[in-house]
Amino acid sequence: MTEVKRVTRTLRTEFYVVSAGLGLVHESTPVPNYDLTVASGQGVLSEALQSSGATAAHWWRLLADRSPRRTPLADLVRTTVPRIVLLALPSSYLSLVSDDLAEIDDVALQRLRICTSKAGSRKIPKKLANCVLPYDDRLESLPGFDGTRADFPQRALRHFVLELRAHTLTLADARSAVHQALGGLQPRTVPVRAKRTDDQIIDLIRRHWTTYSGNSARLLRVLRDQEFVACEQSRFRDLWRLVKKEQIRAKTEDPSVSA
């Protein structure tokens, strides 16, 4: 979300969130607290969908049926003439909205730019293939643009807009600009990471907590790139929350402790 906000504030425009619980939501819309996702982790929707023989796209259709628009994303692209629409989603969420995106007409497609991973590019309708910007793992080799798998689309979006300024170009020229920016780069080598128990990972988070002021993104990178520990993001998030509760409790009991 932070990456998207940086881009939209620079462009002085607005953004929408593709929500597995609420559908397409404008950034200013107040929403209830909920726990539902099509990605991995707590609140995952996949088990319920599998048990009912449904897909993520079926679920999105149900959400859309309860909103003013049957195809909210397609309608959004269609009604934003003449502006470019930038879509940054991982593969799991592209599966969710694939049928909706398929309703975009050929004229409107020329104004759509999609930032996603290689896996994500295989989740969209074929008619949208040319709208996918050619980002891949080489983005990780650019200083300041490495990160987790989960935020790859948003980092690609930031690079596309803030570094290349390619949102001002035609679709063909925008794709060419990305090709040129990544040309000559090699995918970053992923180090071999060891498995650790929850208790061991919690101890590592505690050890580095003060140095990184409890920042979850930095602590995850320390685990992976400095301690060489294998830890899936949703698992890390749960363990990080446990340590954060400890820090808050310690600070309450002793104000001299920094949380």
Dump pLDDT digits (tens) for 187-200: 877 678 899 999 99
Same domain flag for 29 and 157: yes
Predicted confidence (pLDDT) per residue in 30-73, tens digit: 999 988 888 765 567 878 888 888 889 999 999 998 888 889 99
Same domain flag for 74 and 148: yes
Same domain flag for 72 and 123: yes
Is pLDDT above 80 for 96? yes
Q: Could you say which of 152, 182, 212 is where a domain stops?
A: 182
- Would 188 be classed as within a structural domain? no
Predicted confidence (pLDDT) per residue in 100-150, tens digit: 999 999 999 999 999 999 999 999 999 999 999 999 999 999 999 988 788
Query: How many domains would you assign to the chain?
Result: 2
Same domain flag for 217 and 172: no
What pLDDT, on a 0 to 100 scale, did the predictor assign at position 256? Answer: 61
The whole model's pTM is what? 0.74
Same domain flag for 88 and 205: no
- Would 32 be classed as within a structural domain? yes
- Would 125 be classed as within a structural domain? yes
What tokens does 145 get? 């643009």
Same domain flag for 125 and 57: yes
Length of the chain: 259
Find the domain containing 233 and state its range. Answer: 194-253
Same domain flag for 133 and 159: yes
